[in-house]
Structure 1
Amino acid sequence: MKIGLLIVDMQNVYLNGYVEKAKIREASEYINYVSNMMRDKEQTVIHIQDMDGADEDTDPEAREIVPEIVVGPKDIRVEKLYSNGFWKTDLEQVLRDQGVGFIVVAGFSAEYCVTFTTNGALERGFQAAILQRGIISANNEAVSSTYRDRHVVSYPAIKFMLSELV
């Protein structure tokens, strides 16, 4: 069984001007650390990008992933139109094709897309947890309540799980 990291909606349009740069940098540091560990062990890293409301007039740069997030050459991108990254996308099939059984969810926004995507994973039979210190929101309380109310995994625990993979 492989581990998958889902990096949700870390896009310019949602973060720039809405979330403090320091919070973006801090969450990105944890996300990048874990994604690099995952890549080193040939695990799956997926960037989920919200395209809701995008049309030919939308600035393509606005929909791009923020520069603080490292995108590896083998990383997968999945576009979504709804808050749940699984809803009407091929995300489940991509994860199954990759042999992923455990999912770590990180990104923006704690109370919406991160939580809904985590729920979507659980509903489809995956084990899932949210990356400790790897989520952000424009609402500070939403991050705290997500950590309080959801399964959370730290990077040392992920490092141990990766070391146990055969």
Structure 2
Amino acid sequence: MGLTIDRMDPKETALLVVDMQNDFVAKGAPLETPMGQEMLPTLKKVLDFSREEGISVIYTAHVHRKDGSDLGLYGEIYPPILEGACLIDGEKGSEIYPEVTPRDGEPVIKKRRYSAFFGTDLDIILRTKGVKNLVIAGLTTEDCCFAAARDAMYRGYKVAFLSDATGTYDYADIGFGKVPAEEVHRVMLTVLGGSTAHVMTAEDYMSKVNTDHTEKV
């Protein structure tokens, strides 16, 4: 059981970099996700490779209006968002972390919910580019990356979910015990691999791209 991707044509592949924003990645940020810092070297390698091979690179940024008019239930779920402490469109915290900033021409999809497809033009962009394979990296494994993977699969895209270029944070005890980030990550990769995507490492991804000089990887 599970999806298998054997090879990927660069012209039919896009890398989706999910929510690598200052408010998640920077040390001491309101929504700090340490695994985001830990996987930065791998993500930078994936970005360099993808750009070199002509693979489309697309970013997402989870943002909200300063007046909170687009919050929905996020205000109840995440107090820092309700208080306006993070993810405010146009403010520095909502910008992509400098080490993995987009290059000219690489779109940044602004979204208000977990999924990069919900209320955005991502699907239109992918279909216009002729994308069939969507490679997912970024934060967080169980929320925005998971939601993007599920919605992509629903729309017929084959999803490659990068196990070492995604990550999350520790979960507090809500009656079932604390869950460390590594355990959340492991379980979600297992669920995704059985139901939604081909879960693979960054090296696996790069080896599956059809290229005339894969031996350089």
Structure 1 counterpart of 2:53: 41
SS at match of 2:209: helix
Q: Distance in 2 between matches of 1:71 and 1:43?
A: 14
**Deviation, structure 1 residue 65:** 0.8
User: What TM-score, normalized to structure 1?
Assistant: 0.87
CA contact under 8 A between 2:53 and 2:211: conserved in structure 1?
Answer: no
Q: Deviations over 1:106-162 (max 9, x none)?
A: 111111111001001001110002112111111212211122222312222222232
Relative to structure 2, which stretch is displaced further, 129-138 or 142-151?
A: 142-151
Structure 1 counterpart of 2:115: 84
**Deviation, structure 1 residue 52:** 2.9
Structure 2 counterpart of 1:153: 200
**AA of the residue aligned to 2:189:** Y
Confirm whether residue 29 of structure 1 aligns to residue 41 of structure 2. yes
**Deviation, structure 1 residue 43:** 1.0
CA contact under 8 A between 1:38 and 1:162: conserved in structure 2?
Answer: no
Point out the structure with the larger strand share: 1
SS at match of 2:125: helix
**AA of the residue aligned to 1:46:** I
Confirm whether residue 163 of structure 1 aligns to residue 177 of structure 2. no
User: What TM-score, normalized to structure 2?
Assistant: 0.68
Q: Distance in 2 between matches of 1:92 and 1:155?
A: 24
Relative to structure 2, which stretch is displaced further, 77-86 or 64-73?
A: 64-73
Relative to structure 2, which stretch is displaced further, 47-56 or 83-92?
A: 47-56
Structure 1 counterpart of 2:149: 118
CA contact under 8 A between 1:25 and 1:68: conserved in structure 2?
Answer: no
- Unmatched segments (≥5 aa) in structure 2: 1-10, 69-83, 171-180, 193-197, 213-217
- Unmatched segments (≥5 aa) in structure 1: none
1:113/1:130 CA distance change after superposition, 3 Å: same
1:46/1:124 CA distance change after superposition, 3 Å: same
**Deviation, structure 1 residue 62:** 0.8
Q: Distance in 1 between matches of 2:48 and 2:155?
A: 26
Q: Distance in 2 between matches of 1:85 and 1:75?
A: 15
Q: Distance in 2 between matches of 1:42 and 1:143?
A: 29
Relative to structure 2, which stretch is displaced further, 46-55 or 32-41?
A: 46-55
SS at match of 1:100: coil
Between the two proteins, what is the percent identity of the paired residues?
25
1:164/1:89 CA distance change after superposition, 3 Å: same
**AA of the residue aligned to 1:158:** Y
SS at match of 2:100: coil
Structure 1 counterpart of 2:102: 71
CA contact under 8 A between 2:20 and 2:139: conserved in structure 1?
Answer: yes
Confirm whether residue 19 of structure 1 aligns to residue 33 of structure 2. yes
CA contact under 8 A between 1:103 and 1:128: conserved in structure 2?
Answer: yes
